[in-house]
Structure formats: C-alpha cells, structure tokens
Amino acid sequence: MKYIIYIITAGLLILFLRDIDFRLLLLQVDILGYKIIGVIAFSFVAYILGTLAWMFSVNSIFNIRHLGRFFIVRQIGEALSLTNPTGVIAGDAIKVYLMSKVGYKSSDISQSVIISRLLTWFSYLMVVLFVLVFLIGDVFTSHVVSVSIFTIVICIAVLLLMLLFHKNLWLHKAASIISKVSGGRLMKIHLPKIKGYNQDIYTLRKDRPTYILIVIGLLIMHYLAGALEYLYILTILDINISFLSALGLEIGTSLLRSVMSFIPGQIGIEEYGNKYFLSMLNVKDEGVWVVVSILRRIRQLWWIVFGLISYIIYTRRSSESLNNIKTISDGYTVH
C-alpha cells in the first residue's frame, strides 16, 4: 500500500512542479533572503492550530504529547490534497489510514476528520460574518439599516449553530427537505452519511461540550494566523493594509482554493485569487500580486516536500510507535 502511495504522490508532485517557474522562485529567495522564513513561520502557526483542532475533534482524552504525530499526519494529508485531483478526499483518507497504523480505530479517526472538516467550514462562516459586521458601517450610512443587517448576521450564526449541534439533527433534516424539494438523487443517496455526520457532531457536543468550543476557537485562530501571513508578506513588500483587510484577503482566497480544490496544486488559482482580491483592496501594482503568489508558492512547496519526506519516515516508524498507544478503561484511545 505505502509503495503505491509513494509512486502516485511522486507522479503528482512531478506534475505540480513542472508548472512552477523556479527562476522566479529563486529570484525572490535571493531578494528577500531570511524574511521568507517568516512566511513559513506564520503558516506553521496556522497548521499547529489546525492540528490542535483536529485532536480535540477526537472524542477521547486530549494528550498534548501526541501533537507531533497528529501534526505530521495532517501535513502528509494536506500535501496529498494539494497534489491530487481528488483533493481533500485523498488527503483525509490517508490521515485515517496512517493513524489506524499506530493503533487508533479507523472509525474514530474518520469521525474526527469529518467533524473537523465541518467545523472548519462553520468557523470559516463565523469569520466571514465577523468581517461583514465591520463592513456594514462602511457600506450603509443609515443606523437602522446597519442594526437590521447586524441582527440578521447574528440570527444566521445562531441558525448555523442549531443546524450542527441540535439534538434533533437539524442539519440532516434540512438536507432531507432540500432533497425532497429539488428532487436531486445525489443528495438523497448521501442522506444517511449526512445523518451520521450530524449525529457524530451532536455526540461530541454531548460528551465533551468544551471540546466543540475549543475546536471552533482554534479554527478561527487558524484563519487569523492565515491573515497574519498575508499581512506579513505585504509588510515586507512595503504595502500597508489593515488586519481586517488581510483577513478579508485570507477568507476570499480560501474560498476560491476550496471551490477549485480539484485542480492539483491549484495552479493558477492561487495567482488569480491573489490578483483579484488584492485589486479589491486597491493594491493594483502588477508586481505585488506576482511576488505575493511566488512567496506563497515557496511556502506551499516547502510543506509539500515536508509532507512527502514525513510520509516516508512515518511509515517506517509507525510499527515501532504502535506500542506507545494505550487504551483507557472506558474504551477511548488516549491521544
């Protein structure tokens, strides 16, 4: 199995690398020098926060000592997601496979991956609503209109919370209604899975309610760290923007990358997203979005190589790590 993954990943990595202009990459490395480390450092913080959120999504006792294992497996999965046309499907599958090799139940890890993915989207929407609240005052001069829109935003947030966490599984019920109204066969086929996901989230909320809040908080901080990365890049390029603008840039490009995740490496998507959303912030210098894209490509390439090397090392040592996993008396895996 692992040798097949080696071959597939290597092939996809070659396809990804051939579309990168290494001349421009090396030029920026030469110009900016050690400052590029800051870009990688901010992404490292964001990935650590994402890893912690995933760990808290497992319905078991949290153990910070296993952060390294979860981080490495997460990066392996994210690297595969970036270079694979199936996107997060392949990435999440490899996470389940690798964690099962060191003693975790596949069902528990699969559940945690789904919960983490759903809460990531929920947290993303919370960040979007947060940004919209601040934009209301800039767009509307009428106090009544501003208050009305703010109230609508709060109601949407509460509704999203109810959809995910209500004991009557409102997310599944909403999906069932949409399936009946639209007559879509695809939605109907996936209704049992949606019900299962909804049940998993409710079970985690019921068993460990603080975990849900911690996961949401960590994922929101994950997006804030992504905004800081953009802010740092633009600062070293002598472009001054507010943190709120950087946050808008992060959520805008994140949405575009998610929608177009089926494109390996998101070749062209990263570049177009940076150009489009920077122009919305009145940063119209053609050279800026090119440099921003190159710096983020350097960071992306770093973590892809890290993920590939980590997979090779991890699979060799996974059998040795099996004895380090213990099971406590209630049947939950300690991680």
- CA dist 268 and 271 (Å) reads 5
Q: How far is CA 249 from CA 53, 163, 234, 255, 275, in A?
A: 23, 28, 11, 10, 10
pTM of the full structure: 0.77
**AA letter at 110:** S
Task: Output DSSP code: residue 329.
Answer: T
pLDDT of residue 332: 36
pLDDT of residue 192: 78
Q: What would the two tokens of residue 248 be?
A: 């808008």
- CA dist 304 and 47 (Å) reads 13
One digit per residue, the tens of pLDDT, for the chain of length 335 reads 555 554 555 555 455 455 555 565 566 556 666 788 889 999 999 999 999 999 988 866 677 888 988 999 999 888 888 777 666 777 888 888 888 887 788 878 888 888 888 888 888 988 888 887 777 666 655 666 667 777 777 787 777 777 777 777 777 777 787 777 777 676 667 677 777 777 777 777 777 778 888 999 999 999 999 999 999 999 888 888 889 889 989 998 888 887 776 666 566 677 778 888 888 888 877 677 778 887 888 888 888 889 888 888 877 765 555 445 443 333 433 33
Q: DSSP letter string over 10-69? A: HHHHHHHHTTS-HHHHHHHHHHHGGGHHHHHHHHHHHHHHHHHHHHHTSSS---GGGHHH
- CA dist 230 and 234 (Å) reads 6
- Residue 267 sits at φ, ψ, to 5 deg, of -60, 125
Domain boundaries, the chain: 2-323
141 membership: H or E segment, kind and range: none
- What are residue 333's DSSP bridge partners? 327
Q: How many CB atoms lie within 10 A of CB 53?
A: 26
Q: DSSP letter string over 165-191? A: H-TT-HHHHHHHHHHHHH--HHHHHTH
9, 83 Cβ separation under 8 angstroms: yes
Instruction: Identify the CA nearest to 76 among candidates 264, 267, 318, 314.
Output: 314
pLDDT of residue 296: 86
**AA letter at 181:** V
pLDDT of residue 328: 37
- Residue 333 sits at φ, ψ, to 5 deg, of -75, 135
Q: What would the two tokens of residue 6 be?
A: 């080696």
- CA dist 298 and 292 (Å) reads 10
**AA letter at 272:** Y
Quick one: how far is CA 75 from the chain centroid?
A: 11
- CA dist 37 and 111 (Å) reads 35
Task: Output DSSP code: residue 332.
Answer: P
Coil, strand or helix at 327: strand
Coil, strand or helix at 158: helix
* Residue 251: partners with Cβ closer than 8 Å, 6 or more residues away: 124, 127, 128, 131, 223
Cα dihedral value 195, 198, 204, 206, nearest 10:
-90
Coil, strand or helix at 316: helix
Cα dihedral value 156, 162, 163, 167, nearest 10:
-170
pLDDT of residue 265: 58
Coil, strand or helix at 333: strand
